[in-house]
Amino acid sequence: MAALLNSVRAFFTPQTFHVDQENPGDVVARENLLDRAMGAGRRRKSSEKLRAGRVPAEGLALVARDEDGHVIGTVRLWNVEAGISREGRVVEALLLGPLAVDAAHEGKGIGSALMRAAISEATKRGHGAILLVGDAPYYERFGFFVDKAQHLIMPGPFERSRFLALELKAGWLEGAAGMLVASGRRLFA
């Protein structure tokens, strides 16, 4: 019900933000936003193990900015290996997260706009699938479902019912099994 109300509110609220590529000047604002939105324990999550010491996938670090250019939302996608296929090949994919919107700007469609932009850009760049850990009722509207990730696992504890996947290319995750492993560029080479 809350998602429906937020969608209705977003429809009637004038758009006072835009989605943009993240730039180096956004780091402090992004990290402060994530600390406020995700809490102190955000760095202990299994997803963080896959992001630690890495940079986001090329062109897939996005922010939402208000009319004054301040960061009010963020989403990033990371290169991972999503297990192996039945034929034994590594299955390349993206891990989405975290997605966060400043509490003062919730209900304006910012999270949805960031998700759509991230999915669109990942598709344009030729990626095959996106995985994430999140609330199924929110992410299902973007095409993320548990069944696509059913034979994959995260490093460390995770809730199976919150581990979701979206295939950008039909059948990309079919038969994929195993643990997600970070595969993106390292922060410090």
Q: Residues near 104 by Cβ (< 8 Å), separated by ≥ 6?
A: 72
Closest by CA to 27, choosing from 61, 53, 1, is 61
| Sign of the torsion angle spanned by Cα atoms 147, 148, 152, 154 | negative
Q: Is 138 exposed, middle or buried (0-12, 13-18, 19+ CB in 10 A)?
A: middle
- The per-residue pLDDT for range 67-112, each reduced to its tens digit, is 999 999 999 999 999 999 999 999 999 999 999 999 999 999 999 9
- The per-residue pLDDT for range 122-167, each reduced to its tens digit, is 999 999 999 999 999 999 999 999 999 999 999 988 999 999 999 9
Instruction: Report d(CA 99, CA 86) in Å as an integer.
Output: 32
